[in-house]
């Protein structure tokens, strides 16, 4: 059994760690509030952008825009993965990366080339460790919900797709549901699928467009793809802060349990020392009497 001094030092260490986890929980809670507000505020814009582009896509085909090019047998695909730069956020990264690993393993049979473009240090370390192909380097961009970052990611993906280098562009991110629940989600960015819009009950309207539909669609598609990437970044950041807040709350509670256990152990050790000393005093007293 550890002596009282060792146990007391362990209690002190756990208390210091608990102060850190409690502070991290409060910081994550404040960041989560802002990130959650941003997610809620962006959803109407993203939905409306999808509706407008959907109406324009009803009669669109590959001749209108290269972003509708949809070969029956795609040969190459790119998966944009949104992870975090930092850890200490529970299963936020691990669940997402397991889904990526499964997709890469299954997609190896469907595509001749399957590459990734990773945002976040945790994701980059994972693909390097698992020897997963990185076809687009996004290491210069931080794991932040920033419009410029979203625009750069979307532009890189659209340029590669328009040039015919990639036949599919997917994005993998954690969709925020609550601080306790984040769902790893795949979404297809490119090619655009007119049928996906019509499935949402978009009713054609007899609008007259100025400029014409083709020019308007050409201008809106880059904005639409950027809005999809930005929405995914917002969801990802909110999910990260929610997962970190929950993880730090659990760590703080576990520290309380550990402190209680160590305190009980320390009291037992102290009592054992006192009992031993009393027995030695009693034995010495009896020896003197004898």
Q: What is the DSSP string of the chain?
A: ---HHHHHHHHHHHHHHHHHHHHHHHHHHHHHHHHHHHHHHHHHHHHHHHHHHHHHHTT--TTT-GGG---SS--EEEEEEE--S---STTHHHHHHHHHHHHHHHHTTT-SEEEEEEESHHHHHHHHHTT--B-S--TTS-SS--HHHHHHHHHHHHHHHHTTS-SEEEEEEEEEEETTEEEEEEEEEES--HHHHHTTTPPP-----SS-HHHHHHHHHHHHHHHHHHHHHHHHHHHHHHHHHHHHHHHHHHHHHHHHHHHHHHHHHHHHHHHHHHHHHHHHHHHHH-
How far is 111 from 113, CA to CA, in rounded Å?
5
Q: From the candidates 11, 77, 89, 232, give the one annotated as an active-site residue.
A: 89
Residue 57 catalytic?
A: no
Under 8 Å between Cβ of 191 and 161: yes
Residues forming the active site = 89
């Amino acid at each position: 059994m550890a002596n009282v001094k060792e146990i007391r030092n362990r209690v002190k260490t756990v208390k210091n760690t608990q102060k850190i986890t409690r502070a991290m929980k409060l910081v994550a809670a404040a960041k989560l509030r802002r990130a959650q507000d941003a997610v809620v505020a962006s959803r109407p814009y993203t939905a409306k952008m999808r509706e407008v582009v959907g109406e324009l896509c009803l009669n669109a085909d590959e001749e209108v825009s290269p972003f509708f090019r949809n070969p029956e047998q795609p040969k190459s695909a790119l998966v944009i993965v949104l992870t975090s730069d930092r850890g200490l956020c529970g299963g936020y990264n691990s669940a997402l990366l397991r889904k990526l690993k499964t997709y890469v393993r299954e997609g190896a049979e469907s595509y001749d080339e399957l590459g990734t473009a990773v945002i976040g240090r945790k994701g980059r370390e994972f693909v390097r460790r698992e020897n997963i192909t990185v076809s687009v380097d996004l290491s210069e961009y931080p794991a932040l919900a920033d419009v410029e970052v979203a625009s750069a990611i979307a532009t890189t993906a659209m340029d590669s797709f328009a040039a015919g280098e990639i036949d599919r562009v997917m994005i993998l991110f954690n969709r925020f549901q609550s601080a306790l629940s984040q769902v790893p989600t795949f979404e297809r960015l490119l090619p655009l699928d007119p049928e996906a819009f019509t499935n949402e009950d978009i009713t054609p309207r007899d609008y007259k467009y100025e400029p014409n539909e083709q020019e308007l669609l050409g201008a809106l598609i880059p904005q639409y793809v950027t809005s999809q990437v930005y929405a995914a970044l917002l969801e990802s950041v909110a999910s990260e802060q929610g997962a970190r807040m929950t993880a730090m709350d659990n760590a703080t509670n576990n520290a309380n349990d550990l402190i209680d256990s160590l305190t009980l152990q320390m009291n037992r050790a102290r009592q054992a020392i006192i009992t031993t000393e009393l027995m030695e005093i009693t034995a010495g007293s009896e020896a003197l009497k004898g």
